[in-house]
Amino acid sequence: MFLLNLETLAFLKDGKYRITVLRMLSDSPKLPSEIAYELNISRVSASRILKALKEKGMVESHSNGSRAVVYSITEEGLLALKECLK
């Protein structure tokens, strides 16, 4: 059974949109611009959120050969999201 440590829980709850972004990515991979549009925030803000989540191993990025970078949730991110939503 995966138990979310307090540091990770604090990290997720500290950011206004972190849990929301994980929820969005649990549905399907997204571009930072898609996340920004859906949350009505700047693309820079969306990229910062994604970078922080990536540093914690909760999301990963994939390049499709162009300049576009698509983000998806990792297994660790899914487990963390499930724990947060209990």
Count of Cβ atoms closer than 10 Å to residue 6 Cβ: 8
Average pLDDT over residues 17-24: 96
Count of Cβ atoms closer than 10 Å to residue 30 Cβ: 21
The residues pairing with 73 across neighbouring beta strands, listed in sequence order, are 59
CA atoms within a 13 Å half-sphere pointing along the CA-CB vector of 45:
13
The predicted model scores a pTM of 0.88
Q: Which domains does the chain have, with CATH numbers?
A: 6-84 (1.10.10.10)
pLDDT in tens, 31-81: 999 999 999 999 999 999 999 999 999 999 998 777 889 999 999 999 999
Give me the pLDDT at residue 10, please.
Answer: 82
